[in-house]
Structure 1
Amino acid sequence: MIEAILFMLGIGAACGSVLSVASKVFYVYEDPRIAEVEGFLAGANCGGCGYAGCSAAAVAVVEGNAPPSVCIVAGAEAAANVAAVMGLDAGTAEPLKSYNECNGGNRAANKYYYTGLNTCKAVSALYGGRRECEIGCLGFGDCIRSCAFDAIHMGPEGYPVVDETKCVGCGACQRACPKNILTVKTMSQRLLHMNAEDDALAPCRQTCPAEIDIPKYIAQIRNGDYEGAVNTIRERNPLLLSCGRVCPHPCEDRCRRGIEDEPVSINQLKRFVADFEMNSGKRIPIPCAPDTGKRVAVIGGGPAGLSCAFFLRRLGHGVTIFESMPHLGGMIRYGIPEYRLPKKILDWEIEGILNLGIEARVNAKFGEDFDMGSLAFEGYDAVFMGVGAWVDYNLGVDGEKLNGCYTGIDFLSRLASGEKFSVPRKAAVIGGGNSAIDCVRNLIRLGTEEVWIVYRRTRAEMPANEVEIEAAEHEGVKFQFLAAPVRVVGDEDENATHLEYLKMELGEPDASGRRRPVPVEGSETLLEVDMVITAIGQRPDVSFKESSKRLDDLNITRWNTIDSDPETLQSSIPYIFTGGDSATGPSLVVEAIGGGRRAARSIHQYLTGEEIKPVPKSLFKKNIPGTIFDSVPGVVKTPRAKMTELPVKERITSFIEVDQVLTEEEAIAESNRCLSCCRICYNKDAA
């Protein structure tokens, strides 16, 4: 018995020795943080994070291959705890959410009937799917069956609807969808996306320079979700109050309802929800990504600069706006009259942008108060130039320097700054664009007895917005068409007394497609005036280029714009980007806003070390083939919402805003006129 016990002890000692040696030879260290991290995860082992269970996810976090927010179920508190274990700042990690851009569903015609397996994957294997729309939803619900969180259901129109409150961004629906209709993105990824040829885009959305999801926000208005509509617009346009007042709405030119009826009043609906937020007494929160530590200098506080700054800040970058004027706003402050865009409304809108944490330095002129050297010294990583088109063109005729002679933008900006003018008895404004119309309507309100528009072509060729021309006519402005000014006549005190012009007749079309005006010999005519304003166009001021050797390599075009790639807006100096009038020349406010976001995307790519390039299959100023129709069968005509205006007698004696906002009843009725278009689908039964 003793021998047996001793034998067993010997075997045990031998085994212990072997195990001791083996533990040294085959020892595998496990980082204790793995267990700590795993303890803070949900323990569901659902695989929604992309790893094979919580243990694998914990290992990925410790190895630096996954963020503290890896668990899609546990939530923000777990992410903060995991970050604490790793010695990191969890920040405000952006959640992934699933989005469906297709809203056609059952409205899309079938190109064949299918009687096989009721799955999207099976149907798509046959000629790309049964629907006529090549990218549209097939409607069999593979995505719904894939979702473990009951976050997707099939809507009444036959396309999936995502419940964002339940969606955890696991990506199962995206992987299940063979048509790439469902995409899982963060807020930043959505802000950075530009229109592409294979997107589900209605014609109005394709045409909008800011790329706003127009059908979506109109549907939200129809459903009474005004905050949702504001958020939808603001995802692409931070100046919705301003744009709702001054945008000439090119989107409405592509509205399918307008083919058979009057187009939907898209811009009035935008203004309705913008005013709803402003008048609600609270601001709708605007989320921003975690701080990146990168800093960008935005030169110019106009619509392009404000837009670029807004999107850069939302992407997590630090932004400082440098503005040469006393207040931000650029041309929408100093070029748009008070009766079209009241300054208090613009101030409210700009305040909301700055509240995101954007610094603004006013009365700071580039090339005088600061330059590229001082920006580099302050540590800015990139620069956006939105210097605007502030230099007016002159006529180049005798007498245009006489007392009482002004240029358009100079006159408008001085008036907007509060400068008092000696009110003329009779005035002539030369030009046919929006600036010329703004000048004459201002003069009417100042009390000028007789105000003329002098234009070298006919009314049909005037580039100003039709509604503005009509408003000027209603307010008593006189028009002298087919008239080319040749000199300004003055008295002995060098005060303007007359404008001399030649009568014209239209010849053959020129490069713009408009018939070229040809002078009629011997037709010189004098128009009695004591003020002449030349509003024939403007260009950017690029004199700043001479202020710094750092700008020697900055290329300028013959139109005095900053030479840049039209899609990425990167200049010839890699860290300098541009947008708005300084990139395109004088253009629409909404064009500048869209350019600001496009530049912000490129700057973000530059700051994060990515290749600066457009989105694949970029749609950029094109339309998707097959989506622009000649007819829209089935549409029943219904009247478009009319713009309510102040009576003429009331408005010409003050600078009170002329155009009024739709009532809620009118807005809902107008939203019901929308056909809810997608690429080729539309709702024939819209009211």
Structure 2
Amino acid sequence: MVKEKVIDLANLISRTKRGAKDEVKPEHPEYKVLEPVVTDEMAEAALCLKFRDGKTVEEVASECGKSPEKTKELLWELAMAGATIVGEQDGVDKFWLELWVPGHMEMLVNHKENSIKYPQMGKAFSDYGKKRGPLAIGNFPVGTGPMRVIPIESAISGETKRVSNDEISKYLNDNDRFSVSDCSCRTAREAMGEGCGHLKEDMCIQLGNAAEYYIRTGRGREITREEAFEIIHKAEDNGLMHNMPNVDGPGHTHAICNCCGCGCLALRNANMLMNHDFVRSNYTVKVDADKCVACGECVEVCPTNALKLGQKLCKNTPIPKVERELPYNTEWTPDRWNEDYRINREVVMAEGTAPCKAGCPAHIGVQGYIKLASQGKYAEALQLIKLENPFPAVCGRICPKFCEDDCTRCDIDGAVAVDDIKKFIAQQDMNADTRYVPTIKHDYDKKIAVIGAGPAGLSCAYYLAVQGYKVTVFEKQKALGGMLTLGIPSYRLEKDVINAEIDVLKDLGIEFKTGVEIGKDISLSDLRTQDYKAFYIAIGAQAGRSLGLEGEDAEGVITGVEFLRHVNLGDHSKFEGNVIVIGGGNVAIDVARTATRVGAAQVDMFCLESREKMPAHAEEVQEALDEDINVNNSWGPKRIVAEHGKVVGVEFRKCISVFDADGKFNPSYDENDTKIVPADHVLLSVGQAMDWGSILADSKVVLNPNQTIQADVDTFQTGEPDIFAGGDALTGPRFAIDAIAHGKEGSISIHRFVQHGQSLVFGRLKRDYRAFDKANVNLAGFDTAPRQQTAHVDGKKSKETFKDLRETFTEEQVKKESARCLGCGVVIADEYTCVGCGACTTKCKFDAITLTRTYDADAVEFKDLKSTVIKHALKRKVRVAVNKPIKKIKAIFSK
């Protein structure tokens, strides 16, 4: 049933009347936000109040015909709900009405219990902006919108033209009373189940009378000025920017909001309606292309998608510039809006960006850490790497180096030695005094379980711990590291390297439980009863594949994965005689080289592929050859020959082709070209498989035919909502860097899942980094400085030890090699869509991005706002009218 007096109140706050053209009706958000928490009797008292002009209880009582006691009760119920404001004036409490936004909408939603109990209030807050926002497009001069961006102060500290009204410190120093509350915009999004995962708790600061109101009504807690500054800095550390109510006159505000572009309902005017003048500060971003290294940190934090990565190098064929229309002088119809701005952010210009950033599965800022290394800033370089990869020392030894494969320098004289530079930087992780341990951002006090201590699980645990979660990692084996420890030989990745980087996770408070098999020793259901809120399953592909050959069950035949696990766990039993390794990938190389080290007289590898098409890296194949391992190409096993149950050899047949005409794996053989090769041991290294055990018992998780887990491609959520997956469990066997990238994305999903009302997709950045077209790059004039090299490892020495004999670059080599980087990526700034918040400047380590004062605007007195807007809107109307025929003429001539 419609509450008539509440409709009257909604109209009063809106400064309209029933029956008017713009009256508030029951279906409108102004009514819907009040309806759950305001009764008609409460509304009767509120109808006696004025806009921004306080009245005492006695004044209201005499006007509404109720006793002072009853009137006071009703007014306080209204104030507690957020439908009136109360403050002490001249020694007595007075009550008044405010604007909807900024004002009652925020205050109504900031009542924690009501916002959860009545989700329609959050939706009404959001719908109000959608209703009013289009009316403002192009019609507000810069600096006059009801909410306005205020720049991060450190971003304008060197700006000579700045004025005090652009400084946050001015507003904090001008006030003596402060409170902090949850962000009302993100609370509203949360109520709708559309939260973006950004930190919401204790993020918005109230000042003066607003603080008094928030404290007295329980919306916020009182804080000191020093605490207010700390919250400002915490917000900036969490990638947030600042907004403030802009309706209190020049140099005044009653709050400072800490916002994100995907949650803030004020910034929606810019992001969805493209009405950036409505909220912008006086500043816009400038990028110094000479200093920019395209690390991408500013791109990912920009709240309005004004920054994207592009190409720094000159193009052979320049891309034509498209003329742009703006709300300033164009009719701005809904077809020009960006309704999907919360899911369609772009990180790259259409032309693409640096291939190293694009090619890395974790999209590490390669140019960035190379530049920092060239400046001797190794600690900062390590920190930058760990934003995307917690295990740079590990990856510096085993990475597949996709960044080097794609390096633009390959088209001149050879790739930059990225992996060697990273390895040098990551040596800091070997020392407890120099390793980088990130600051924990918050304390969420929720327990998360990670199943599997391989690279995916450890990475997920790392990023969840940094967010502020209580993480426990369960590992079936006694050792941590998964296939890093059990599947990679020590001569490539020594155990102290893995353990040193795992020590960082221990420093973050992550708990490890080894020797615990989920599904056998304890179930997921048991863990739920222990209050674990979500699970990340990353058990890895730790089982070897068989080929189904005759004789495969003979003594002396095992999978390469099982063989490596035995050796890595300390079982160094001697292999005597001849060893045959079947397979041609990197793991097969590891198996063969390990067999050499445990006593094999001779090791022979056989694989289907030709030498040129072997899946193993050419560098690793050469290392095997250096250790006297025979690599036999284009041979496939036909059967394993056994006598008395023990292997004595393998029969091979010549492989003519590996793939059929459709590109599918379908080997064909010359059955007339066969041979039997004697062997005392056969190690099958033809792939890895999943061994799920009973982990998924009684769950709704579904497995694919290849036994990998079915999960959403973007969120990694499985058929059981609280179970997420990553790494080999999701994709099948890949590289550690792929698993690490999965771990970070899994942590983002879990963080959102366990927080009330968060969406797994809204406001989530799709890191679609794409490389530019290297054929359209002008590489003339670059030097041909030779690539730095470490000393070649003598195979005769390396085959005798499990120690990693490969050298690390010297500091001098790092400086020489980092100078070879072409710096081919750069950030491109769109000055119109930039709102001058300065969040980008907090992430740049290279002084490449700054704010410059572009406008000289300030708030106007509220009483003058209507005339100011009308005057500006009339001028815009003229511009639109003048621009229409010009556009038509241009359209004719462009045909």
Alignment of 1:10-21 (within 5 A): none
1:543 to 2:693 alignment:
yes
AA matched with 2:290: E
AA matched with 1:577: F
Aligned residue number for residue 236 of structure 2: 96
Aligned residue number for residue 388 of structure 1: 540
Aligned residue number for residue 502 of structure 1: 653
1:68 and 1:82 in contact (8 A); partners too:
no
The 3 A distance-change label for structure 1 pair 379 and 154 is closer
The 3 A distance-change label for structure 1 pair 325 and 632 is same
2:293 and 2:368 in contact (8 A); partners too:
no
Query: How many Å apart are 1:392 and its aligned residue?
Result: 1.3
Where 2:492 maps in the other structure, the secondary structure is coil
Picking from 618, 639, 663, the partner of 2:766 is 618
AA matched with 1:94: K
For residues 221-257 of structure 1, the C-alpha deviation after alignment (integer angstroms, 9 at most, x for no partner) is 0111000000000010001111110001111122111
Aligned residue number for residue 76 of structure 1: none
Query: How many Å apart are 1:50 and its aligned residue?
Result: 11
Where 1:544 maps in the other structure, the secondary structure is coil
Alignment partners' CA distance in 1, 2:762 and 2:203: 29
Alignment of 1:231-250 (within 5 A): 231-250=383-402
Where 1:524 maps in the other structure, the secondary structure is strand
1:262 to 2:407 alignment:
no
AA matched with 2:623: A
Alignment partners' CA distance in 1, 2:206 and 2:450: 36
Aligned residue number for residue 783 of structure 2: 636
Picking from 515, 519, 522, the partner of 1:367 is 519
For residues 312-357 of structure 1, the C-alpha deviation after alignment (integer angstroms, 9 at most, x for no partner) is 1111111100000001100000000000000111111111112100
Worse-superposed segment, 480-489 or 249-258: 480-489
1:212 and 1:237 in contact (8 A); partners too:
yes
* Number of aligned residues: 578
Q: Which is bigger in relative contact order (C-alpha 8 A, separation at least 6)?
A: 2
Alignment partners' CA distance in 1, 2:475 and 2:302: 44
Alignment of 1:126-525 (within 5 A): 146=283, 157=290, 179-180=306-307, 196-198=347-349, 201-279=353-431, 281-492=433-644, 494-506=645-657, 509=660, 511-512=662-663, 517-525=667-675
1:153 and 1:161 in contact (8 A); partners too:
no
Query: How many Å apart are 1:451 and its aligned residue?
Result: 0.6
Where 1:486 maps in the other structure, the secondary structure is strand
Aligned residue number for residue 583 of structure 1: 730
Aligned residue number for residue 110 of structure 1: none
Where 1:381 maps in the other structure, the secondary structure is strand
Q: Which runs of 5+ in 1 are unaligned?
A: 1-17, 35-41, 74-79, 101-142, 168-172, 183-191, 682-687
The 3 A distance-change label for structure 1 pair 508 and 24 is closer
Alignment partners' CA distance in 2, 1:538 and 1:632: 42
Alignment of 1:59-70 (within 5 A): 61=180
Query: How many Å apart are 1:258 and its aligned residue?
Result: 1.2
Aligned residue number for residue 276 of structure 2: none
Worse-superposed segment, 330-339 or 504-513: 504-513
Where 1:366 maps in the other structure, the secondary structure is coil
Where 2:180 maps in the other structure, the secondary structure is helix
Alignment partners' CA distance in 1, 2:62 and 2:791: 87
The 3 A distance-change label for structure 1 pair 631 and 474 is farther
Aligned residue number for residue 10 of structure 1: none
For residues 279-329 of structure 1, the C-alpha deviation after alignment (integer angstroms, 9 at most, x for no partner) is 484333311111112211100000000000000111111110000000110
AA matched with 1:473: L
AA matched with 1:391: A
For residues 620-673 of structure 1, the C-alpha deviation after alignment (integer angstroms, 9 at most, x for no partner) is 4x6256577566333222211223343222211111103221111111111000
Where 1:352 maps in the other structure, the secondary structure is helix
Worse-superposed segment, 453-462 or 215-224: 453-462
Aligned residue number for residue 261 of structure 2: none
AA matched with 2:557: C
AA matched with 2:646: N
Alignment of 1:103-118 (within 5 A): none
Picking from 738, 743, 747, the partner of 1:596 is 743
For residues 469-502 of structure 1, the C-alpha deviation after alignment (integer angstroms, 9 at most, x for no partner) is 110011100122222212222233x222111112
Aligned residue number for residue 134 of structure 1: none
Query: How many Å apart are 1:467 and its aligned residue?
Result: 0.9
Alignment partners' CA distance in 2, 1:239 and 1:339: 18
Alignment partners' CA distance in 2, 1:63 and 1:460: 60
Query: How many Å apart are 1:20 and its aligned residue?
Result: 11
1:49 and 1:70 in contact (8 A); partners too:
no
AA matched with 1:561: T
Aligned residue number for residue 120 of structure 2: none
AA matched with 1:656: K
2:446 and 2:469 in contact (8 A); partners too:
yes
Query: How many Å apart are 1:423 and its aligned residue?
Result: 1.6
AA matched with 1:30: E
AA matched with 2:652: Y
AA matched with 2:669: P
Worse-superposed segment, 609-618 or 358-367: 609-618
AA matched with 1:213: G
The 3 A distance-change label for structure 1 pair 511 and 467 is farther
Alignment partners' CA distance in 1, 2:806 and 2:615: 21
Query: How many Å apart are 1:367 and its aligned residue?
Result: 0.9
AA matched with 1:499: V
Aligned residue number for residue 812 of structure 2: 665
Query: How many Å apart are 1:599 and its aligned residue?
Result: 0.8
For residues 346-385 of structure 1, the C-alpha deviation after alignment (integer angstroms, 9 at most, x for no partner) is 1111111121000110001111011111111110111100
Alignment partners' CA distance in 1, 2:797 and 2:382: 32
Alignment partners' CA distance in 2, 1:92 and 1:441: 55
Kindly, what percent of the aligned residue pairs are identical?
28
Alignment of 1:564-579 (within 5 A): 564-579=711-726
AA matched with 1:413: R
AA matched with 1:583: L
Alignment partners' CA distance in 2, 1:589 and 1:251: 14
Alignment partners' CA distance in 1, 2:785 and 2:507: 42
Where 1:30 maps in the other structure, the secondary structure is strand
TM-score, L = length of structure 2: 0.58
Query: How many Å apart are 1:436 and its aligned residue?
Result: 0.7
For residues 263-282 of structure 1, the C-alpha deviation after alignment (integer angstroms, 9 at most, x for no partner) is 11111111110013424843
TM-score, L = length of structure 1: 0.75
Query: How many Å apart are 1:509 and its aligned residue?
Result: 4.1
1:381 and 1:575 in contact (8 A); partners too:
yes
AA matched with 1:479: V
1:646 to 2:779 alignment:
no
2:179 and 2:205 in contact (8 A); partners too:
no
2:181 and 2:204 in contact (8 A); partners too:
no
Where 1:412 maps in the other structure, the secondary structure is helix
